[in-house]
Amino acid sequence: MDKERNVWLMTQQRMENAMDTLGLKPGIKKYLREPRKTIEVSVRVQMDDGEIDVFKGYRVQHNSDRGPAKGGLRFSPTVTLDDVKALAMLMSLKTAVVDIPFGGAKGGITVNPKELSVRELEALSRQYILELSPNIGIDTDIPAPDVGTNPQIMAWMTDAYSIQKGHFVPGIVTGKPLEVGGSQVRDEATSVGVVSTIISALKHMDMDDIEPRVAVQGFGNAGFHCARILHDMGFRIVAVSDTGGAIYNPEGINPKKARAHKLKSRSVCEFPKCRPIDPRELLEVDCDILIPAALENQIDEDNAPDIKARIIAEAANAPVTPEADKILDQRNIMVIPDLLCNAGGVTVSYFEWLQNRQSYYWSYREVSSKLKKIMERAFSEVYVMSQKRKVNMRNAASILAVKRVADAVSLKTTRSRCYL
C-alpha cells in the first residue's frame, strides 16, 4: 500500500472512529465521509520552448458548514485525488479543533515545480487559480500555500484573480507576502502553535520546572523555528536532522548556528561538536520532547517501543502510524496530535483573512498573542475531552472536531439531534 493511499485510509478511519464514539446518525455519518465538492481541472501552459503542456489540478472542498472552506495548494509530482481528499478532510477537523469559523479544503497540481522555469511556474499558478475561480471566493473557499508553493505563488494567484474581478481582492488566498496583504507571524505560525501546545503539555504533566531536552526531526521551516523558539526559551536542543542526515549533542545544539551551517553546506551534517547519527536513530535519542517535523509514518510499530521522549509534538501531518499510537498510549507517552499541534498555520491564515476583510493590519505582537491564546485554549479543550472520554489526545481531538462539524451540519439541516 503506498503512502498516499495509507494517509487517506488513516484519515477515513479517524473520522469513522470519532463518529462511532459520538453515536452520530447514519445520514450525518454518510455526509461527513465524502467531500462536498471535488473539482478536477486541466491547466494549460505554454512552455518556454513554445509547446503546450497540460497539468492535472484538483481542489476538494470537504465541508463548509462552519464557514468558508480553507486549505493549502500543493504542487508536487505525487499529488493524487485521494491525497487531496484526505488532506481536505483533515482540514475540516483541524479548523474545528481550534474552533475558527472555517471548513476544510485542499488543492494541488501534479507537477514538480523544480522542473519549471520561473515564467512557467507563474503561468501555471495564474492559470490554475483562474480555472478554480468559479468555485472559490473570500466567502466560499480560500486557498493557501502548502508543499511546493510559497508566498510568491500566492501573490501571482491574488493578482490573476483580482485582474479577473476588476479590483484588488487580497482575501482570496492567504500566505501572501506582507507587501500584498500578508500577515505578521505567518512564516513561523505553525512553529509558534507547536510550541504553545508543548508548553501547555508540560504544565499538565508537571514537567514545567525542568530543562527539557528536545529532538527535532526535519530542519525545514517548521522544524527550524520550533528549535529556535524553544532554544530561546531555555530548552536544550540535543538532536536535529534534515534530508542529508542527523546530528546529536547531549550538551545542546544552537539551532541558529546549525541553520547557518546548513545554508552553507546544504545539510546540518558535520556541524561542529556534534556526533552524526542515523536519521531514524534521532527518533530514539534520550530526550523529553520529540518533534517530528518531516514526513508521515516516521514512528511505527518497529521504533515506537524504543521512543524515550515523554511528549511527541506532531509538527508534521500523520508522522505516527495507528499501530505506533497504540504502543505509545500503553507506554503513557503523550502525543500532541497533528490536528491540534500544527494548527497554528491555519489559525494565522484566519487572522490574515480577517485583516484583509477589514483592511486593518495587526502588529507582530498582536498576532502572536492571539495565536498563543487560541492554541492554549484548544489544548485545554482537547485535554478535558481526553479526560472525560478516557481516551488519548488524538482521539479526543478527533471527537471534539467531529462533534463541532456534526453539530453545524445538524443545526442547518434539521431541528432534531444528530446523535442516537
CB of 62 closer than 8 Å to CB of 103: yes
Q: What length is written for the chain? A: 420
Q: In the 3-class helix/strand/coil scheme, how is 126-153 assigned residue by residue?
A: HHHHHHHHHHCECCCEEEEECCCCCHHH
Joined grid coordinates for residue 306: 524504543
| Active-site entry in 29, 94, 106, 403 | 106
Which element (helix H / strand E) includes 72? strand 69-76
- CB atoms near residue 252 (< 10 Å): 15
Which element (helix H / strand E) includes 40? strand 37-46
B/e letters for 121-149, b = 16+ CB within 10 Å, e = fewer, are: bbbbbbbbbbbbeeebebebbbbbbbebb
- CB atoms near residue 372 (< 10 Å): 18
Three-state DSSP at 71 gives: strand
Nearest partner of 93 among 148, 180, 14, 7, judged by Cα: 14
CB of 23 closer than 8 Å to CB of 420: yes
| Distance, CA of 314 to CA of 334 (rounded, Å) | 11
- For residue 106, indicate whether it is catalytic: yes
- CB atoms near residue 92 (< 10 Å): 31
> Which residues are designated catalytic?
106
